[in-house]
Structure 1
Amino acid sequence: MVGKWLHGEAGKHCSDVVLMNDLHESCYEFHEAASQALLLVDLGKREAAMTIVRGSRFFKDASDRYQSNLAKLHLSFEMA
């Protein structure tokens, strides 16, 4: 859902280019981290996938950064 918004017409209305670039980058990083976990599940390595989701610094940092950028975007539209 967010990806469609970011890459669609609505995303073009945000004038904060730095924020949009950060949001795109953090979205990509989060999806990469999540994809690693899903790949492990598909390979039957559920415990390894859970380790990534629950204990991986890469996953946590990607998730935190993405959520932070989404919050900044929300605030930028609320304050406009």
Structure 2
Amino acid sequence: MDLPRRAARHPHRHPAHQLARHRMPRAAPGRATALINLAAQLPPPLLVDLLGISIDTANHYARHASTDWSTYLHARTTT
């Protein structure tokens, strides 16, 4: 006697597709915002140790969190 089989599903379905299917929000924008806020308060080497991210990623978020407006001001004066 054979048991009925379930329809085959792709075993590695991307989590974003599963969230969309269940109408759940994605976490990526919130994660980026949280990392930028954390990078504004902590130096990049500490982010590397605490979160286990690469130093390049920590520096990237530190640049986004910087309060140095000189790049913005330079772009405004040259255009």
TM-score, structure 1 normalization? 0.27
Q: Which has the higher helix share?
A: 1
Larger relative contact order (Cα-Cα within 8 Å, sequence gap ≥ 6): 1
Based on CA coordinates, which of the two structures has the bigger radius of gyration? Answer: 2
